[in-house]
Structure 1
Amino acid sequence: MDLLPTASVLRSLDDQLAKKLIKASQPPTTDEDMSGTTSPQQTSHSPAKSSSGRASFSSVREVDDNIAQAFSSTKISSYFREEADTAVVDENSSNPPSAGLDMADTQFMPPVTQPHSRLHGCWFPAVAADNFQGWKQIGVKGKQASRSYGDLQALRMVWSTAPTPKKPKDTIEVRRVPGDSPLERLPMEIKNQIIDHLVLDVPPDGLSSRNADLMAMLLTSRALHSATLNALYMNITIPHSRIFRKFLAHLAQNQELGTIVRRLDFSHFNPTSLFTTASERATTRNLTHETLLQCLELTPYLREFLAQEYVDEDIDVHVLRKLFFGLERLQGLDFCACSSANFKAAFESILSDEWPQSLSITRLSLHRCINLPSAVFETLLPRLPNLTHLDVAGTRITDAALMSIPHTARITHLNLAKCKLLTSSNVIDFLTHHPAVKNLVYLSVAADFRSYELLDEDDVTRLLPILPATLKSLSLKGSKMNASHINLLRPLTKHLEELSMGRRLKTEDMNRLFLPDEEMEQLDWIPHTLKYLDLSDYIAGSLNLPALFGNASLLNSHSAPLEVVELPDDAYTRLSRSPAVTRAGWTATDFGSRAWLVRNPEGARDLGFRDWKMGAAFWGMRKVPVAVANVGGMYGSYMFKRHL
């Protein structure tokens, strides 16, 4: 049989099939002219899809940084691709393809068993051919594009078999056991920090239920139960006697809870919130010296005891003995304004007891305990070797008691305001030579000049140069000052944030705290750090109000960062109705017996929180806190509401 005709037929079929394959793989040529060039309709794209002459896409985003106009750039678009098969033109190719070339040359690879066959075999890109320039030459729906293997595979233009996708493994459901949630697995310290945000010490009216969220947390799980107990019982605030009765009943039934308590706070206590007469309060017997002593017995690890004038009747000699001799870990003790006859008698009774050589107390406040005898201070102060906070404002402390403070003490907060038994020479000598006051942060030697003066002009001249650079708050209220003291005050204003001025200064003199003198070099001038200035001593028209609004006044913009200026009552009455205050950018405000001018903030306002203020936010506090806590109750009244 003659096989030549059959072979010729096969070659003809192979040639026809090859031409059809090549034609099918090339882009349509309907828009091409006879010369083989591409028409404008083919090269121009819709504006919504692409833009000729531009580089590849970049996404620009604003960055939340400390400076403005900070951006980040990325090659990833924030939009989805409109079409999965849209080609992106790569204009960075060193050898761009010609407009008329839509596909690279190909070569036919016959099978090994039939090397002369044109039917059995495969077509491959002519890799070895001189005119093949890589995958960019492959036509993708009529466009020259740089395509990855995955894109070509999606268009079925690859010469290899796609890998078989792996079946996803069956997800294993993780069954958590009780107590294994992410919140419960947090360390106890972190859980305490989170739960502390739910603590509400005092409800708005003092009577409604509080800490409802904490009560719900107690019922959530064992892990959260123990963490919530710490937050609920660590710092106990007693706003009225009914709360104290419930708290004491819980301790009596579960004495383990008493080991958690670290603070007993009576600063918010108001006996009239439940009972209107003393006889009604005595009948209920919720808070008495017996129940208070029982509470102290059930809280052996107590560290802070905060009392005030509304509970002084319930502090007897047994309670004082427990506080001073029976609580080894007690560090903060506050008897603010406790001045009843029973309280005084109880203190006098324990003076005859056998006192230990030292006490654990580091922060002590006897603020406005006006009737305690001097022997109390002479007995108590020498036994405080670790003292850091001392507030004896308005008391009968003597020079001998002040000098008896141990040299090992490291006092940072000292309030000697209105201590009439102290002498200026001994106070200055104590502040100059005593090693316990070398790192003072808060110092008040204020006085009411209408009845008593501690520092005259010479005393102020001696005092100012010896004050430490650590000082943040200084009160010279009631002292006698003159213009020469401005030069001594200027170095202090570079680190002070609160300053209470003495009397007899002119407004022009005080302006020099904020501006350099004419003969001074501007480069030598260091700006001040004052936030608060007390001018409340300038009563009866002694303050030149028109001078406050001049070009070089302390209410001008150059006095920033000064935010608060305290005024006497008569000046506030006039300025509160003056439109000049608003035009200058200030607001007149008052609270109780005190009044201030407050600068209107520009941008973010300084909230006023400082470590040395121990939780207080307002400026000009007149009572030293002994515990880090939000200010309120009677403590807030003595800090910010009352006259000196």
Structure 2
Amino acid sequence: MDSPEFVDRSTTPEKNGRSSFSSIREDSCGPAQAFTSTPVSSLLQNPDNAIAILSDDSPDHTRSHSPLQAPDMTTEVQFVPPITRPNSKLQGNWFPADNFRGWKQINVKGKTASRSFGDLQALHMAWSTPPPPRKGRDRTPPGQAPIEKLPLELLGAIIELLVLDVPPINGITRRNMDLMSLLLTSRTMHGATLNALYRNITIPHSRIFRKFLTNIATHSALGTIIRRIDFSHFNNATLFESASQRKTTQNLTADTLLQCLNLTPHLREFLAMEHIDDDLGPEVLKKLFMGLPRLQALDFAGCTSFSFRTSFTSLLDLQWPDALSITRLSLHKCLTLPSSVFDTILPRLAQVTHLDLAQTRVTDKALQSIPHTARLTHLNLAKCTLLTAPNVINFFATHPAVKHTLVYLSVAADARSHQLLGEDEVSALVPLLPETLRSLSLKGSKMSESHLKLLRPLTKHLEELSVGRNMDVLTASQLLCPEEKSETEAAEGGQQGEQEKDQEKQAQEQEEKDERPSTLRFLDLSDLWGNELDLTHLFSKKCCLLQDESRPLEVVEVSESAFKSLSRSLTLERVGWSLQEIGSRYWMVRLEKGDDRGHRWWKMGADNWGMRKIPVARAEVGGMYGSFMFGRKL
């Protein structure tokens, strides 16, 4: 699933899908960095607004029919004998007449007067000989249709293209109704459709969860099909006005959730978030970590409640297995979990590839305790205030888990409250990063013009880069401009080449690498505050950021103050860029949109640039995960 060769299925078509009713969903049909944001609880309080929103986002079921075309009158003319005397050669008529072009072409006073829906022949009202009946074909035996002979894996992949994972805007409207008819087609189609419907379960509210639980409790075989349970779109505000009403219904509780996990023994991915953190009791967490041997992905993004913290800490006294089956783990912004949780879990992630520890209390000791057998491709250490720069640098220098496989790395910090990397630490860290890296965030670090030489080689394989403070827009643009060598540097290079052939060869290889075109498509300059992002410098000829030389750059993130200044200027659209925003993030987007929307295998389904949360399941981005990934600040 995580390999670059994996071909991801297409996203839900906009005409069939709905915007998620919670927070953010990507807009796959709009321009780059385009998102849809919908209200959450205001739909019930304001029905008129809900009706207006539904009418805007609902698909148009009325199809535009093209007007009926005139029938083809170029058929061969034939003699039609009279009915009363079929053997007569004198009486009768020739059909059609040589000059007959159809009733629609009859002119009355120079105008076409006929308003009929077609010619008589098209309506089968003409006196003409009916065509001979076609010979009947042999009926295909049941179960022998060509589509039924396809392998079940291929047939299931075709049917999965019709499945709508994202719930409707109100969370209540039925979805996937088109697939219900497939269940009645044949046994083969029934089995393949059931597998597509039950493989990935998305729960938008507790009533759906209760119906789902009742169904798999009645038919236990359905529980063995389930591979993913997704609560990223969950929000009970569409059903209940208060938390007390939700508790009264007893649809989703710690007990019912535990019952669900017991009925799904082959579960591989469990996606939770802050709206269900009170229902993640001790027995549920124990089942997730120790009772499901096939479970590979866990996501607890934003879970911060007191009951969640208590449930997690109660597991620390249990006897844990030496190794966990988890390979993708997200504790994104689980602020309340103590450091002891990470000291217990991280040493047991022997095969971990995706690890999101953003804004947690992970320590240097816990980070170093990651097993050497792990091969991390995604690592998020943003706003981890208990980490220290020397130990982080030592981790990247010595730990084999990040030496040759790292694709996504974030060591970002909020410069207003905390700084992890200073100038010297940035200089020490950047040379340690592997060439496999595609996304790097140094946001919040202290940088200077001296880091250009270190960052420039990274622009030959990075596609996303977030720079830190103290680097103005002119300096940042030099990362994308062609490097110009002075005569002194060229002479020194030639002199060194005459002295040592090895150094000449190394210098030549490095020069060839530097001459490669830039691969950057996203540049984060949101740490440039005040005069650091001067509009006069931005639109000057010295800055190539918005010019053709910066291609394939597509998106530039800016701060809120810079966004307000740019919104008052008309120059941006004249040079081929526009402004986009969602939540608390702001972008400059190139207007000339190509076919590449930003889909990459390492984004696990996201199609836009600048994600700040690591996905642990390959799925369409939306709901609260879309908010954490694209709509929120660090």
Using the size of structure 2 for normalisation, the TM-score is 0.73
Kindly indicate whether the alpha-carbon contact (under 8 Å) linking 1:359 and 1:384 is maintained by their aligned counterparts in 2. yes
Q: Find out whether 1:534 has 2:500 as its counterpart.
A: no
Q: Find out whether 1:558 has 2:522 as its counterpart.
A: no
Kindly indicate whether the alpha-carbon contact (under 8 Å) linking 1:313 and 1:343 is maintained by their aligned counterparts in 2. yes
Query: Aligned ranges for residues 359-374 of structure 1 at < 5 Å?
Result: 359-374=324-339
How far did residue 194 of structure 1 move?
Answer: 1.0
2:154 maps to which of 185, 190, 197: 190
Amino acid at match of 2:561: D
How far did residue 181 of structure 1 move?
Answer: 1.4
Q: Find out whether 1:598 has 2:611 as its counterpart.
A: no
SS of structure 1 residue aligned to 2:335: coil
Equivalent residue number for residue 419 of structure 2: 453
Amino acid at match of 1:180: Q
Kindly indicate whether the alpha-carbon contact (under 8 Å) linking 2:472 and 2:528 is maintained by their aligned counterparts in 1. no
Q: Deviations over 1:191-243 (max 9, x none)?
A: 11110011012123321011101111112111100000000000000011111
Amino acid at match of 2:327: T
Q: Find out whether 1:376 has 2:341 as its counterpart.
A: yes
How far did residue 376 of structure 1 move?
Answer: 0.2
Equivalent residue number for residue 261 of structure 2: 296
Equivalent residue number for residue 498 of structure 1: 464
Equivalent residue number for residue 608 of structure 2: 618
Kindly indicate whether the alpha-carbon contact (under 8 Å) linking 2:473 and 2:532 is maintained by their aligned counterparts in 1. no
2-side partners of 1:359 and 1:234: how far apart? 23
2-side partners of 1:193 and 1:622: how far apart? 30
Amino acid at match of 1:414: L
2-side partners of 1:207 and 1:529: how far apart? 43
How far did residue 548 of structure 1 move?
Answer: 1.2
Amino acid at match of 1:209: R
Query: Aligned ranges for residues 194-205 of structure 1 at < 5 Å?
Result: 194-201=158-165, 202-205=167-170
SS of structure 2 residue aligned to 1:351: helix
Equivalent residue number for residue 246 of structure 1: 211
Q: Find out whether 1:236 has 2:211 as its counterpart.
A: no
Amino acid at match of 1:480: K
2-side partners of 1:282 and 1:171: how far apart? 66
Equivalent residue number for residue 281 of structure 2: 316
Equivalent residue number for residue 567 of structure 2: 576
Query: Aligned ranges for residues 55-134 of structure 1 at < 5 Å?
Result: none
How far did residue 614 of structure 1 move?
Answer: 0.5
Amino acid at match of 1:566: E
Kindly indicate whether the alpha-carbon contact (under 8 Å) linking 1:362 and 1:386 is maintained by their aligned counterparts in 2. yes
How far did residue 518 of structure 1 move?
Answer: 3.0
SS of structure 2 residue aligned to 1:364: strand
Kindly indicate whether the alpha-carbon contact (under 8 Å) linking 1:292 and 1:314 is maintained by their aligned counterparts in 2. yes
Pick closer, same or farther for the CA change 1:517–1:183 going to 2, 3 Å: closer
Equivalent residue number for residue 22 of structure 1: none
Kindly indicate whether the alpha-carbon contact (under 8 Å) linking 1:263 and 1:305 is maintained by their aligned counterparts in 2. yes
Q: Deviations over 1:146-192 (max 9, x none)?
A: xxxxxxxxxxxxxxxxxxxxxxxx97842212222122221111111
Amino acid at match of 2:408: Y
2-side partners of 1:466 and 1:173: how far apart? 70
Q: Deviations over 1:13-42 (max 9, x none)?
A: xxxxxxxxxxxxxxxxxxxxxxxxxxxxxx
SS of structure 1 residue aligned to 2:578: strand
Amino acid at match of 2:457: P
2-side partners of 1:569 and 1:179: how far apart? 61
2-side partners of 1:587 and 1:437: how far apart? 37
Query: Aligned ranges for residues 126-525 of structure 1 at < 5 Å?
Result: 173-201=137-165, 202-438=167-403, 439-519=405-485, 525=515
Aligned residues: 474
SS of structure 2 residue aligned to 1:451: coil
SS of structure 1 residue aligned to 2:530: coil
Q: Find out whether 1:567 has 2:558 as its counterpart.
A: yes
Amino acid at match of 1:291: T
Give me the identity figure in percent: 60
Q: Which has the larger radius of gyration?
A: 1
1-side partners of 2:604 and 2:422: how far apart? 32
SS of structure 2 residue aligned to 1:432: helix
Q: Deviations over 1:58-82 (max 9, x none)?
A: xxxxxxxxxxxxxxxxxxxxxxxxx
SS of structure 1 residue aligned to 2:557: strand
Kindly indicate whether the alpha-carbon contact (under 8 Å) linking 1:550 and 1:556 is maintained by their aligned counterparts in 2. no
How far did residue 278 of structure 1 move?
Answer: 0.6
How far did residue 254 of structure 1 move?
Answer: 0.1
Greater Cα shift, 337-346 or 186-195: 186-195
Q: Deviations over 1:460-495 (max 9, x none)?
A: 000111100000000000000010100000000000
Kindly indicate whether the alpha-carbon contact (under 8 Å) linking 1:369 and 1:394 is maintained by their aligned counterparts in 2. yes
Equivalent residue number for residue 110 of structure 1: none
SS of structure 1 residue aligned to 2:147: coil
Kindly indicate whether the alpha-carbon contact (under 8 Å) linking 2:471 and 2:532 is maintained by their aligned counterparts in 1. no
Equivalent residue number for residue 53 of structure 2: none
Q: Which runs of 4+ in 1 moved over 3 A?
A: 170-173, 520-524
How far did residue 271 of structure 1 move?
Answer: 1.5
How far did residue 516 of structure 1 move?
Answer: 2.6
Using the size of structure 1 for normalisation, the TM-score is 0.72
2-side partners of 1:303 and 1:480: how far apart? 41
1-side partners of 2:531 and 2:606: how far apart? 32
Kindly indicate whether the alpha-carbon contact (under 8 Å) linking 1:236 and 1:261 is maintained by their aligned counterparts in 2. yes
2-side partners of 1:171 and 1:238: how far apart? 51
Query: Where do 5+ consecutive residues of structure 1 fail to align?
Result: 1-169
Amino acid at match of 2:554: E
1-side partners of 2:370 and 2:515: how far apart? 39
2-side partners of 1:371 and 1:563: how far apart? 37
How far did residue 525 of structure 1 move?
Answer: 2.3
How far did residue 617 of structure 1 move?
Answer: 0.7
Pick closer, same or farther for the CA change 1:200–1:633 going to 2, 3 Å: same
2-side partners of 1:174 and 1:493: how far apart? 64
Equivalent residue number for residue 588 of structure 1: 579
2:599 maps to which of 584, 609, 613: 609
Kindly indicate whether the alpha-carbon contact (under 8 Å) linking 1:235 and 1:263 is maintained by their aligned counterparts in 2. yes
SS of structure 2 residue aligned to 1:490: helix
Equivalent residue number for residue 44 of structure 1: none
How far did residue 506 of structure 1 move?
Answer: 2.0
SS of structure 2 residue aligned to 1:184: helix
Pick closer, same or farther for the CA change 1:390–1:173 going to 2, 3 Å: same
Q: Deviations over 1:491-514 (max 9, x none)?
A: 000000000000101222112111
- Report which structure shows greater RCO (CA 8 Å, sep ≥6): 2
Amino acid at match of 1:469: E
1-side partners of 2:484 and 2:357: how far apart? 43
For the aligned residue pairs, the C-alpha RMSD in angstroms reads 1.4
2-side partners of 1:552 and 1:250: how far apart? 65
